[in-house]
Structure 1
Amino acid sequence: MPMGFIQSELDLKLLVLYIMSRVAGPVTFLQLLELALCDEGVDYFSLTEAVGHMVETGQLERDEEQHYSITDKGRRNSEICESSLPYSVRMHCDENLVRVNDAIRRQAQVQADVSDNEDGTCTLHLRLDDVGTPLLQLELLTPSRPQAAAMAHRFQSDPTALYYHIVTLLTKPAEAKPGDDTKDTKKETDYEKK
């Protein structure tokens, strides 16, 4: 391994436990790698081996979508051993965790899923949450999966804009349309009073 504070497999496992006990939710291997590259002693292959062993020993678990999360056993081990990591490595991890945790929280708050219908169309499911409370839930019928995917991407890139436009549209006062009887009724009522 290159020179760095992480010089053994045990050091690397302690680093992984430190990261996984502080991450806001399940992460992919690439996200974990990005977080672990806070030290020159970490590389892709050694991290792959360490994470695989930690899954086998029950310190981490991997779900069907290939996301990793820490187990109770891993969390206990992290609490016991985290002070063994050098302070500078922990601080660098914490800086990286802020960015990744923000992205994980945002992903949890903004959800867009596409489901296929029997007739060949798709339904786009959009959801925007604020601290676990749904602000917006919307289902749209779309003619194709590519269009639904494009709409989902647009929503995920700026969900507050869609929310703002819907609320604005629903709260603006209704405009009188030509032929609307509300004005004529008011005139008749005023005439009858005279």
Structure 2
Amino acid sequence: MFDRLREDVRTALTNDPAAKSAREVVLTYPGVHAVWLYRVASRLLNGGHPLAARVLSHLTRVLTGVEIHPGATLGRRVFIDHGMGVVVGETAELGDDVQLFHGVTLGGNSPEPVKRHPTLEDGVTVGANATLVGDITVGEGATVGAGAVVVDDVAPGTTVAGNPARPIGESAEPPLSQHPRCSNPNED
């Protein structure tokens, strides 16, 4: 258990240049605290204590500003930087070395008790205020830009941005010559 705690502190020190010491991370990083308390809540849920798990999850949200459902799955070295407003839904799955910034939502799109939240594979980074909705997969090493709205799968290693999110370099509009409202100059 203590190895995991040390690993989380090292992850914060590695990912955040503002972190100056392990003591500072342990005492002042709400994203780290949220992950630690999530692990306790998840154990409670898996141990047959769903109400206690949800109460702890709620208290964690009050204390840290980060809401992680105890039914979610988090890998190792998940780092939530400036965590305020982060929401991780019940069926979300986060791989190892995932980094989330403030305001990220991993939301569901169904009221049914099915897989309805995103899966983030290893090494994914999600920028501030990005919203990912539904049973989608963000592939290994992908990056989601700040403020992006993602409702479709993201290929491994791809960077997406915008609303709706598209790979960087891919235009949301067709070129003017292919725009449906433009007439063909050869017609007349």
**TM-score scaled by structure 2?**
0.30
- Say which structure is richer in helix: 1
Answer with 1 or 2: which has the greater Rg: 1
**Quick one: higher RCO (CA 8 Å, sep 6+), 1 or 2?**
1
**TM-score scaled by structure 1?**
0.30
